[in-house]
Amino acid sequence: MVPTDYYVLLSAALFTIGVLGVLLRRNAIVLFMSVELMLNAANLALVAFAYRHANIDGQVLVFFVISVAAAEVAVGLALLVTIFRTRSTTDVDEVSTLRG
């Protein structure tokens, strides 16, 4: 059996890579993908702990996270398409009308 620590360390590494993606990239679609990566890293930690404690609640939470992520991606990508229609860009630096 692989210790839970290994899964949690892998999950932390994946989450950090996702954060790096959000901070470094300027393409809004890649930002979205990085958010998905972070959600997946959290899911991995949840499943690892659920297995460790033989407790099914963590798995149920992962199920809900996945379905809410599906809804979030649908709305987010629709927003991106709408922004692209008015601005002809997916660069987040260009879309800064709300900046104070």
* CB closer to another protein out of 2 and 98: 2
Q: Which tokens in the block code for residue 27?
A: 């393409």
Residues near 62 by beta carbon (within 8 Å), at least 6 away in sequence: 43, 46, 47, 50
Which CB atom, from 13 or from 100, has the smaller least distance to another protein?
13
Helices (H) and strands (E) counted in the chain, each on its own, are 3, 0
Tokens of 20: 């790096």
Residues forming beta bridges with residue 27, ordered by sequence position = 91
- Specify the residue, 63 or 100, whose C-beta has the smaller distance to another protein: 63
Q: How far is the CB of 45 from another protein (least distance, A)?
A: 9
Minimum Å gap between C-beta 96 and another protein is 9
CB of 95 to another protein, least distance (A): 12
